[in-house]
Structure 1
Amino acid sequence: TAFSPGEGRTVQLAAVVRDFDDDLRNVHWLLPDGSEVEGERLEFEAPEDTTRLRVRAVARDEAGNIGEATVIVRLPEPELAAEGAVTAQAEDFSGQGDGEVSIVSRIGNVGRMITMWHANPGHWLEWPVDVPADGDYVIYARYATQSDEAVRSLTIDGQSPGAAWEDLRFASTGGFCTVEDNWAVKRLGEPVHLTAGKHVIRMTNLAEGLALDYLTLVPAE
């Protein structure tokens, strides 16, 4: 189970139990902190210090028979969970030039992801975003890279938000999520002011490889 940015961090789960004798006694949920909750439905707020939870459900009937299941819940970082966040999934780019990325699924990505964005300096991709209201927004990228440092530039509607956006540096995360979850979230710069409506974000390869899961615009506080 994976949450997208803007969906909050309230975990809601329901146990689906097949009991042919219809004599279910109870369902216990075992939470990551060691606590237990009884009931066929579970709701709790995820701790702010984690983006991955393992929850186990154990069902017992009157005869003492037990069935159990485990679910892994992946959550956005707390700063990405706010209502009003706008997300562009990396694989939903509307155009690219001077190269071609691959769209794949690997460990820990939400939806799908893009990779093979390294060979050609100048290789760009564009994503449409629909901003719900006028305001200042912070842009985050969920990325992975095995390179020591990948470099990209970013424009909005063909314009650079400032000099810092022309030299965005992404530190190594240890891999491209082929063996383990290497995803990291980077705040790309200071808040940018956007009007309500449609905009286009373009990112251009300046150096090294970068896998991208999504871009998220979060209303600035």
Structure 2
Amino acid sequence: MLVLAFDTATAAITVALYEWTPGEGAVPRGTAEAVDRRRHTELLTPSIANVMAEAGAAPEDLSAIAVGVGPGPYTGLRVGLVTARSMGDALSIPVHGICTLDIIAWATGMDEPFAVATDARRKEVYWARYHSFRARATEPAVGLPADVLDGAPHGLPVVGEGAALYPEILGEVGHEPLLPTAGALAELTVARLAGLKGPDLLPPEPLYLRRPDAREPGPRKKVTRA
């Protein structure tokens, strides 16, 4: 099983190709990482091509595609989802979505409770709490940094870029990993496809928690002559 994974829901443009075999489990075949809040469109497709070339793999070799579904800013998130769905349609292979917060949580490997927070801009964060890296305790939400710890046990660790942006509220240490990685996304997807426990696989649809900033213009106002 050869799985191509990528996520563009944050500032990270991250791509990975993993192969799963019953004897070896998930083995990385190629990865590409970049951080750029404005160039998701320009960087994603070349990164995919480079990773495939590095592994000596052709698109026809892929068994599935995994993509982060957010939450995240509208524009970057849309780039990854449109690319994943287009490739899946062209290759007639399944496309699986994973919550981006779950990707970060999986990469921690933490077995004790914690929370994940990413940057939602406007002085807010996207966040969720977890029982462990395999099990989410709350639904994804967007709000003020203080919301992450409201009602939570004292000293709950918080990881992710959102936590690093507001250390005075979410704690001074323990924020790694800051951003999602496609390696974690691929490992999580392969684990679920192999029947192991972990966050649910989702349809490749965007997880928007608020409306995009860009809106269609309304009708022109009528002008009446005096």
| More helix by percentage | 2
TM-score range, shorter chain: under 0.3
TM-score in terms of structure 2 length: 0.26
TM-score in terms of structure 1 length: 0.26
Structure whose CA Rg is larger: 1
